[in-house]
């Protein structure tokens, strides 16, 4: 579904990514681990074409996208949920959900399906974005992507600052998405949230992937995690 090779990215003269390489299979959940500043968020932004300068290779279902603009990459079936969520504050919950266009040929979720997954959003369907709690805004940001029919989701720190009950709900949603064959790349500081969800983990340090391991190897990687994450 996704293959990243020798991905370089810059903000002005600051060289942030130094040859990032990883791959994600269809229907797989992969988590990028690392300290703040390791380059995880920049990696997601670079995949989406949202950094000022990038080079390397980003194959989405075998199609090169590194020269594409963000809107073109979105049309390839990629959904990006940024850490700041990007809710339209002046629009109601339902208007936010109706806003994104459906991808050509994709089967995006109907409103009824969204509300079944996120009953809180049904209760707040008429409420403007400014009146939603942090957890409700996060649910809305994820739900809005599902409406488009995107098959590859890039989710950046979706559990940050949320109540445990909301975090558990988001974990349930991610598992349900995997069951539908949707591919997910997670950037998470909350290791306890990400650990049981991911099929594989990539550890980043100073703009590079320095280690990868599978869910089955998690218990044996305690020393590595303490070294790179301090957990």
| Rounded mean pLDDT for each run of 10 residues along the chain, 231 residues in total | 96 94 95 91 96 95 95 92 85 90 74 89 91 88 89 92 85 89 91 90 93 89 76 51
pLDDT value at position 104?
A: 67
Yes or no: say if 65 and 72 are a contact pair by the CB < 8 Å rule: yes
For 182, the 3-state DSSP assignment is coil
Longest CA pairwise span in the chain (Å): 49
Q: Flag whether the pTM goes above 0.85.
A: yes
pLDDT value at position 25?
A: 95
- What does CATH list as the number for 2-86+152-228? 3.40.50.300
Tokens 């130094």 sit on residue: 18
**What DSSP line would sit under 97-136, residue for residue?**
HHSSPPPTT--PPPHHHHHHH-HHHHHTTTSBGGGS-HHH
Q: Chain-centre distance of CA 207, in angstroms? A: 18
Find the Cα–Cα–Cα–Cα dihedral 60, 61, 67, 70, rounded to 10°. -50
pLDDT value at position 180?
A: 87
SS (H, E, C) 26-78: CCCEEEEECCCCCCHHHHHHHHCCCCCEEEEEEEECCEECCCCCHHHHHCCCE
Yes or no: say if 78 and 48 are a contact pair by the CB < 8 Å rule: yes
Q: Which of 22, 79, 75 is nearest to 199 (CA)?
A: 22
**Beta-carbon contacts of residue 180 (< 8 Å; ≥ 6 apart):** none
Cα end-to-end span (Å), the chain: 30
Q: Chain-centre distance of CA 136, in angstroms? A: 17
In sequence order, the β-bridge partners of residue 67 are: none
Distance in angstroms (rounded) separating the CA atoms of residues 210 and 216: 19
Yes or no: say if 201 and 218 are a contact pair by the CB < 8 Å rule: yes
């Amino acid at each position: 579904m996704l293959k990243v090779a020798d991905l370089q990215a810059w903000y002005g003269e600051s060289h942030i990514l130094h040859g990032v390489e990883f791959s994600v299979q269809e229907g797989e959940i992969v988590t990028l681990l690392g300290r703040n500043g390791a380059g995880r968020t920049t990696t997601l932004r670079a995949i989406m074409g949202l950094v000022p300068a990038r080079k390397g290779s980003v194959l989405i279902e075998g199609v090169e996208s590194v020269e594409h603009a963000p809107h073109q990459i979105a049309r390839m079936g990629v959904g990006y949920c940024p850490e700041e969520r990007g809710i339209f504050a002046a629009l109601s919950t339902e208007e936010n959900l109706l806003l994104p266009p459906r991808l050509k040929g994709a089967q995006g979720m109907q409103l009824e399906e969204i509300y079944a997954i996120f009953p809180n959003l049904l209760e707040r369907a008429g409420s403007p974005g400014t009146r939603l709690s942090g957890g409700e805004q996060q649910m809305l940001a994820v739900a809005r992507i599902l409406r488009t029919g995107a098959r590859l989701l890039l989710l950046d720190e979706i559990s940050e600052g949320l109540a445990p009950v909301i975090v558990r709900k988001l974990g349930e949603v991610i598992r349900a998405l995997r069951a539908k064959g949707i591919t997910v790349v997670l950037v998470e500081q909350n290791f306890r949230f990400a650990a049981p969800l991911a099929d594989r983990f990539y550890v980043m340090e100073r703009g590079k992937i320095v280690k990868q391991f599978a869910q089955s190897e998690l218990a044996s990687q305690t020393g590595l995690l303490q070294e790179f994450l301090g957990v």
